[in-house]
Structure 1
Amino acid sequence: MTEHRIFTMSFSSVYPLYIKKAERKNRTKEEVDQIIHWLTGYEQAELDDQIQSENDFKTFFEQAPKLNPERKLITGVICGVRVETIEEPLMQEIRYLDKLIDELAKGKKMEKILRK
Structure 2
Amino acid sequence: MNTTPEHDQRIANMTFASVYPHYVAKVEKKGRTVDELHQVIAWLTGFNSKDLKRLIKEKATFAQFFEQATLNPNASLITGSICGYRIEEIETPLTKQVRYLDKLVDELAKGRKMEKILRTP
Q: Same fold (TM over 0.5)?
A: yes
Quote the offset at 1:88 in angstroms.
Answer: 0.3
Aligned residue for 1:30, secondary structure, equals helix
Quote the offset at 1:107 in angstroms.
Answer: 0.5
TM-score w.r.t. length of structure 1? 0.94
Aligned residue for 2:119, secondary structure, equals coil
Partner residue of 2:58 out of 53, 57, 63:
53
Matches within 5 A, 1:5-84: 5-64=10-69, 66-84=70-88
CA distance in 2, matches of 1:12, 1:78: 20
Partner residue of 1:94 out of 82, 98, 111:
98
Identity %: 56
CA distance in 1, matches of 2:83, 2:50: 31
Structure scoring higher RCO (CA < 8 A, sep ≥ 6) equals: 2
Q: How many residues align?
A: 115
Task: Please give the per-residue CA displacement for 1:39-93, whole angstroms capped at 9, x wherever unaligned.
Answer: 00112211211111111111000111x1101000001000111101100000000
Quote the offset at 1:7 in angstroms.
Answer: 1.3
Greater shift, 6-15 or 86-95, is seen at: 6-15
Unaligned 5+ residue runs, structure 2?
none
Q: Considering only aligned residues, what root-mean-square deviation do their CA atoms show, in Å? A: 1.1
TM-score w.r.t. length of structure 2? 0.90
Unaligned 5+ residue runs, structure 1?
none
> Deviating runs (4+, > 3 A) in structure 1?
none
